[in-house]
């Protein structure tokens, strides 16, 4: 089995763009290099190009639209995100929900642009539906725990187990991440022991006073 992935979503937090995004990226690069654990970053769109060119870590967009180049004012084009330096994208985050048809189009756009796709879901049933679209990853995140500081691994391990089972029964090649309230190495360890391939997290790192310390702890039990 390959090393679990730690994927950090910078959202639109005040602490997560511009020079502050660079500080987090720099810390993540150090921790990833020292631990050998893959860490990927999902900064805001404006930071995709600088972050992907200054650091060696994979960069993800926070969303793409299921569109092809053309007349789409304000559209987020997979090909443009790729050209800016991203290697993957989140799709259908809880704070950026899409219809199933939109998710399908976005996963297809990501695949065509050679971007890894992480489709976020809220329960085992939606995870199974999303797995049928064959994204690279499903990320299960109970919405009520997002940003709460209360860890899904400790509070609701059942949803992780049910999601892994549902996803693997539809498409065993789709990997599973989990997120919501993840902030310690123990949360990551439990998530991996429950069968996931890593975690998706935000506030625990982005809003931390010392992101490097949190990152060191996150990878410490792997």
- By annotation, the residues acting in catalysis are 93, 141
- Binding of residue 5 to ligand G3P (CB under 6 A): no
Among 4, 6, 9, 88, binds ligand G3P (CB under 6 A): 9
Sheet holding 175-179, edge to edge: 39-42, 5-9, 198-201, 175-179, 137-140, 116-121, 88-91, 60-61
What Cα–Cα distance (Å) separates residue 146 from each residue in 89, 97, 140, 197? 19, 14, 11, 19
Residue-by-residue DSSP string for 100-153: HHHHHHHHHHHHHTT-EEEEEESSHHHHHHHHTT--SEEEE--GGGTTSS--HH
3-class SS at 12?
coil
**Cα 111 from Cα 119, distance rounded (Å):** 13
Min dist. Cβ of residue 37 to ligand G3P (A): 17
Kindly provide the b/e burial profile for residues 117-127, where b requires at least 16 CB atoms within 10 angstroms of the residue's own CB.
bbbbbbebebb
Which residues inside 109-168 make contact with ligand G3P, applying CB under 6 A?
141, 146-147
Maximal C-alpha separation, the chain: 48
- Binding of residue 181 to ligand G3P (CB under 6 A): yes
Stretches 80-88, 110-118, 160-168, 178-186: which one binds ligand G3P (CB under 6 A)? 178-186
Which residues inside 16-55 make contact with ligand G3P, applying CB under 6 A?
none
- Our CB check for ligand G3P shows the closer of 68 and 222 to be 222
- Counting residues that bind ligand G3P (by CB under 6 A) gives 15
**Cα 93 from Cα 196, distance rounded (Å):** 18
- Binding of residue 200 to ligand G3P (CB under 6 A): yes
Min dist. Cβ of residue 7 to ligand G3P (A): 8
Min dist. Cβ of residue 53 to ligand G3P (A): 23
- Binding of residue 215 to ligand G3P (CB under 6 A): no
Stretches 22-30, 100-108, 154-162, 174-182: which one binds ligand G3P (CB under 6 A)? 174-182
Which residues contact ligand G3P (rule: CB under 6 A)? 9, 93-94, 141, 146-147, 179-182, 200-204
């Amino acid at each position: 089995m390959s090393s679990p992935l730690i994927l950090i979503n910078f959202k639109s937090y005040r602490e997560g763009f511009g020079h502050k995004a660079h500080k987090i990226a720099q810390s993540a690069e150090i921790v990833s290099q020292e631990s050998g654990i893959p860490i990927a970053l999902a900064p805001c769109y404006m930071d995709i190009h600088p972050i992907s060119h200054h650091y060696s870590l994979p960069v993800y967009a926070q969303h793409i639209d299921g569109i092809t180049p053309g007349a789409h004012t304000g559209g987020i084009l997979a090909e443009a995100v790729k050209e800016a330096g991203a290697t993957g994208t989140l799709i259908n985050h809880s704070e950026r929900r899409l219809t199933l048809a939109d998710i399908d189009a976005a996963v297809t756009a990501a695949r065509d642009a050679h971007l890894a796709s992480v489709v976020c879901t809220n329960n085992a049933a939606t995870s199974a539906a999303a797995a049928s679209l064959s994204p690279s990853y499903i990320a299960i995140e109970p919405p009520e725990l997002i940003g709460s500081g209360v860890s899904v691994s400790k509070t609701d391990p059942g949803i992780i187990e049910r999601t892994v089972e549902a996803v693997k029964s539809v498409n065993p090649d789709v990997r599973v991440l989990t997120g919501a309230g993840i902030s310690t190495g123990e949360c990551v360890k439990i998530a991996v022991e429950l069968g996931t391939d890593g975690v998706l997290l935000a506030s625990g790192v982005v809003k931390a006073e010392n992101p490097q310390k949190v990152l060191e702890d996150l990878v410490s039990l792997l």
